Amino acid sequence: MEEQAQTPFQAAVTPGITMGLAALAITYIAYFIDSSLLASGYFALVSLVIFFGLVIYFGTQYRKELGGFMSFGTAFNFSFISIVISGIISLVGMLLLFHVIDPSLPEVLADITFENSLKMMESFGQNPDSLPTEALDNIRAQSEGSFTLAGQIKNFGFGLIGYAIIALILAAILKKRDKSLDY
C-alpha cells in the first residue's frame, strides 16, 4: 500500500513549530546579549533572512515528499500555515518576555523606537524640534502602544496581511510544475 502524502496543513505544523521556536531562541539570545538589539533594524533583517531560509528549506523538503513537484496553491498554503504557526508561537514568547520575564522591557524598547523614529525623521530632513508637542506625544504613544498586550495582538492581526504577502513570494519560489504533463 502506497503512503499518502501529507496535506499542506499537516506538513506545515512541524516546520511552523520549529520556526517559531527558532525565532524565540534568536529573540531571547538577543535579549540576553543586549535588549536594545530587539529594536534594531539589523536584528529584524537578520531574523527575516533566517525566517525566509527556513521556510524555503522546509518547503523544498515538502516538495520532495510530494514527488518533486508542487503547485502554487499548495506552496502558498504550506508557507502561510507554517508562518502563522510560527507567528503564534513568537507572539506567546514575546508576551512572556514583555509581561512576565521583564515587564520593564516594553518601556525601554518604546524609548529606543521613539528615538529611532526621530533619527529617521532627521535623516529625511525633518527637524523633530519643529514638530508640535502633540505630534511628538502621539509618536511616543504609538511606540509605547506597540509593546502592550493589546498592541502585540493588534500587530499580529495586521501581521497576517504581511504573512500572506510573504507566503505569496515564497510560494512563487517553491512551486515547481511537472512539465511532462504539458502537451
**Residues 89-139: pLDDT tens digits?**
999 999 999 999 999 998 888 888 888 888 888 888 878 777 778 887 888
Please choose, from the candidates 80, 76, 89, 100, the residue with its C-alpha nearest in 3D space to the C-alpha of residue 149: 100
pLDDT for res 183: 61
Is there a domain that residue 86 lies in?
yes
pLDDT for res 78: 93
Please choose, from the candidates 153, 147, 149, 141, the residue with its C-alpha nearest in 3D space to the C-alpha of residue 117: 141
Is there a domain that residue 136 lies in?
no
Is there a domain that residue 37 lies in?
yes
Amino acid at 31: Y
- Lowest mean pLDDT, pick from 68-82, 117-131, 166-180: 117-131
Return the C-alpha cell found at 160. Answer: 497576517
Q: What is the residue-wise DSSP string for 1-17?
A: -PPPPPPHHHHHHHHHH
Locus of grid cell 508637542: 133
Is there a domain that residue 27 lies in?
yes
Range of the structural domain that residue 92 is part of: 8-102+148-176
Asked if residue 1 has pLDDT above 50, the reply is no
Is there a domain that residue 17 lies in?
yes
CA angle 53, 73, 11 (to 5 degrees): 55
Q: What is the mean pLDDT of the chain?
A: 88
Is there a domain that residue 110 lies in?
no
C-alpha span between 89 and 22 (Å, rounded): 10
Is there a domain that residue 13 lies in?
yes
Is there a domain that residue 128 lies in?
no
pLDDT for res 177: 80
**8-state DSSP, 125:** T
Asked if residue 182 has pLDDT above 70, the reply is no
Domain count for the chain = 1
Asked if residue 80 has pLDDT above 70, the reply is yes
Model confidence, pTM: 0.84
More confident residue, 117 or 21: 21
Whether the CB-CB separation of 98 and 105 falls below 8 Å is answered with yes
Distances from the Cα of 115 to the Cαs of 83, 108, 122, 143, 150, in angstroms?
30, 11, 11, 10, 22
Asked if residue 2 has pLDDT above 50, the reply is no
**Can you tell me the mean pLDDT for 151-166?**
91
